Structure 1
Amino acid sequence: MNFYAVWAIYAYEMKRFFRTLMESFLSPVISTSLYFVVFGAAIGSRIAEVDGVSYGAFIVPGLIMLSVMTQALSNASFGIYFPKFIGTIFEVLSAPVNFLEIVLGYVGAAATKALFVGVVILITANFFVDLDIKHPIAMLAFLVMICISFSLFGFIIGIWSENFQQLQLIPLLVITPLVFLGGSFYSVSMLPPLWQKITLFNPIVYLISGFRWSFFGVADVPIALSALAVVIFSGICLGIVWFIFKTGYRLKS
């Protein structure tokens, strides 16, 4: 393992993040505050509790997941797409590094940025509601794994994309709607029986449910299924990345 190469890629990507650190910090703080004003105050005044948890606290895990997933996707996809766009990706591919080291550098940086956003949102949420995390180790494990898995997914999107429009296509038209429909701001049990069954086909439900369980000990699906879903999703993404580097799909052409 060429750790120097991994660190070089990782440090380069993180420098871009630190150049806009203030914007990276303010954006999740402002968006979290607005979500609490809209959802916490407006809807929370009509819904006191969900599964024994105050509505303001109930939406925190979903709010963190919404931001973390979108940030991981956008950071990872742009991180690998930009070298493709300007042609410097060929310098990376010709260097004495294997695909795992390249992925560790780019995905590791994207996951770190998404994790930073998640922590900022968690800290901001504490100013609005009282949070008592029942399973902090499980919460951290879910957060890290989701950051990594969606960074891998974003890495795939960045390689697949041929222009900036395609770069935003899947996050805007697929991931964001699935997150909103995946129980981010409500419990699946609040839906009619038919829609509950339909919602279970949404893979995001299992991720948000497991993350919410780590906070409050309540979940829409068994925690084992949530953990399995994260592992399977990460494995599929890693397998696709391996195939891309093995075949050179949209990298060497």
Structure 2
Amino acid sequence: MNFQAVKSIYMFEMNRWKRTVLQSIISPVISTSLYFVVFGAAIGSRIETVGGVSYGAFIVPGLIMLTLLQQSVSAAAFGIYFPKFTGTIYELLSAPVSFFEIVLGYVGAGATKSIILGVIILATAALFVDLRIAHPFWMIAFLLLTAFTFSLIGFIIGIWADNFEKLQLVPLLVITPLVFLGGSFYSIDMLPPFWQNVTLFNPVLYLISGFRWSFFEVSDVSLVWSVAAILFFLVAALSVVWWIFKTGYQLKS
């Protein structure tokens, strides 16, 4: 493997992100604080506990997952779209760099950015509520797998998109609604039976539920199903990326 090539792509993306790092950090911190003011104070005053966990603490995994999914997709999508937009993608494709190394550099950078933001939000949340992490290993595993998997999905979106509007189409119209409707700020046990069954078809529910279990040992679905869901996402995303480079979809034209 050409580690120098992977490092070059990775560092280029990280250096580009560092130029707006203050904006990238301040924005999620403010957003997290607002969520705690709105949900924690307004709704938390009416709902004291959920599954034996204070409501303020209960929403923390959902907040982290919301940012993780959005930022992973957006960072990786823009990272690969920008070379397409400027035409430098052809220089990269003609260089002695394998497809695997290209994906590893861009996806690794996207995942790193989202993980940093996730850790910042976790630290910010700790200022508002008392947090405990019952299973640190599983928490880190879900954090890393989710960041890497959805960075792969963002990479796919960046290849597919042919304008800047499409880059935001999936994060805004698909991922964000799925997160909000996937039990990020409530337990599906609070829903009527019909809507509980409907919510079970939301794949993001399984990611949030597994991540929340790692904190409080409270979940809406089995941990086995949560692990199976994230692995399914990972395999599906890897398969699509392999197909893109095999066929040259949106790369050779």
TM-score, normalised on structure 1?
0.99
Structure 2: unaligned runs, 5 residues or longer: none
Q: Deviations over 1:161-197 (max 9, x none)?
A: 0101111111111110000000000001111011000
Mapping of 1:207-218 within 5 angstroms? 207-218=207-218
Q: Deviations over 1:196-225 (max 9, x none)?
A: 000000000000000000000011000011
Cα distance in 1 for residues equivalent to 2:149 and 2:166: 20
Q: What residue is the counterpart of 1:11 in the other structure?
A: 11
C-alpha root-mean-square deviation of aligned residues, in Å?
0.5
Q: What residue is the counterpart of 1:135 in the other structure?
A: 135
Q: What residue is the counterpart of 2:243 in the other structure?
A: 243
Q: What residue is the counterpart of 1:38 in the other structure?
A: 38
Cα distance in 1 for residues equivalent to 2:13 and 2:116: 14
Cα distance in 1 for residues equivalent to 2:99 and 2:220: 37
Cα distance in 2 for residues equivalent to 1:16 and 1:68: 19
Q: How many residue pairs were aligned?
A: 253
Cα distance in 2 for residues equivalent to 1:32 and 1:231: 28
Q: What residue is the counterpart of 1:60 in the other structure?
A: 60
Secondary structure of residue in 1 paired with 2:59? helix
Identical counterparts, % of pairs? 68
Cα distance in 2 for residues equivalent to 1:172 and 1:72: 13
Instruction: Quote how far apart the aligned CAs of 1:143 are.
Output: 0.4
Q: Deviations over 1:35-73 (max 9, x none)?
A: 000000000000000000000000000000001100001
Structure 1: unaligned runs, 5 residues or longer: none
Instruction: Quote how far apart the aligned CAs of 1:78 are.
Output: 0.3
Mapping of 1:34-113 within 5 angstroms? 34-113=34-113
2:171 aligned with 1:188: no
Q: Which amino acid aligns with 2:34?
A: L
Q: What residue is the counterpart of 1:24 in the other structure?
A: 24
Cα distance in 2 for residues equivalent to 1:198 and 1:73: 25
Instruction: Quote how far apart the aligned CAs of 1:24 are.
Output: 1.5
Q: What residue is the counterpart of 2:160 in the other structure?
A: 160
Instruction: Quote how far apart the aligned CAs of 1:25 are.
Output: 1.4
Q: Which amino acid aligns with 1:133?
A: I
Q: Which amino acid aligns with 2:201?
A: F
Cα distance in 2 for residues equivalent to 1:40 and 1:100: 43
Cα distance in 2 for residues equivalent to 1:31 and 1:16: 23
Flag as ranges the 4+ runs of structure 1 deviating above 6 A.
Answer: none
Q: Deviations over 1:69-125 (max 9, x none)?
A: 000010000000010001000011001111110000000000000000000000000
Cα distance in 1 for residues equivalent to 2:177 and 2:28: 19
TM-score, normalised on structure 2?
0.99
Q: Deviations over 1:124-149 (max 9, x none)?
A: 00000000110011101100100000
Q: Which amino acid aligns with 2:41?
A: A
